[in-house]
């Protein structure tokens, strides 16, 4: 049987890590704000969206691509929309080059969801 491993204590004072800041004078510094309020990004502004059904280079699997987001749509808003679409359809997917790719053919359901959010939907029927 081998000897027990040596343990390095991690709960004690850590020497050397905070020594660089020990000589700083904090007396003349202004007080910081109490809390930083997170400003939510603006809601998606509706626009024209194009639905495409693709199977090429995907091993015969069908992928529904939601494309045509304008510059007014931030990447974070597109990500949030993709998450809502994936959850509503119960499928996987991703955002690639400002286009939402959903695994499977849920064109009817996706069309309804996008139109409910105020988008004008063109493409796959």
Record the pTM.
Answer: 0.62
Counting residues of the chain whose pLDDT is more than 70, the rounded percentage is 80
| C-beta separation of 72 from 45 below 8 A | yes
| Structure token pair of residue 49 | 């969206």
Could you report the per-residue pLDDT of 64-107, keeping only the tens digit for each? 999 999 888 889 999 999 999 999 999 999 999 999 999 999 99
91 vs 105: CA distance, rounded Å: 10
Domain residue spans in the chain? Answer: 48-123
Instruction: Give the pLDDT confidence score for residue 100 in this predicted structure.
Output: 95
> Per this entry, what is the length of the chain?
125
- Our CA angle for 77, 83, 88, nearest 5°, is 130
SS3 label, residue 19: helix
Q: Per mean pLDDT, which range of 13-17, 19-23, 61-65, 115-119 is the poorest? A: 13-17
Instruction: Give the pLDDT confidence score for residue 112 in this predicted structure.
Output: 93
Counting residues of the chain whose pLDDT is more than 90, the rounded percentage is 46
Instruction: Give the pLDDT confidence score for residue 42 in this predicted structure.
Output: 54
34 versus 30: the higher-pLDDT residue is 30
The partner residues of 122 in beta bridges, in order of sequence, read: 50
Could you report the per-residue pLDDT of 52-62, keeping only the tens digit for each? 999 988 888 99
Instruction: Give the pLDDT confidence score for residue 65 in this predicted structure.
Output: 95
Please state the CATH superfamily assignment of the domain spanning residues 48-123 in this structure: SUI1-like domain (3.30.780.10)
């Amino acid at each position: 049987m081998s000897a027990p491993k040596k343990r390095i204590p991690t709960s004690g004072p850590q020497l050397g890590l905070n020594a660089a800041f020990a000589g700083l004078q904090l007396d003349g510094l202004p007080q910081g704000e109490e809390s930083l309020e997170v400003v939510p990004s603006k809601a998606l502004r509706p626009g024209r969206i194009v639905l495409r059904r693709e199977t090429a280079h995907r091993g015969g699997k069908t992928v529904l691509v939601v494309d045509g987001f304008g510059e007014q749509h931030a990447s974070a808003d597109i990500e949030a929309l993709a998450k809502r679409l994936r959850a509503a359809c119960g499928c996987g997917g991703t955002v690639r080059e400002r286009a939402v790719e959903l695994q499977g053919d849920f064109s009817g359901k996706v069309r309804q969801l996008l139109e409910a959010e105020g988008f004008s939907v063109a493409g796959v029927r």
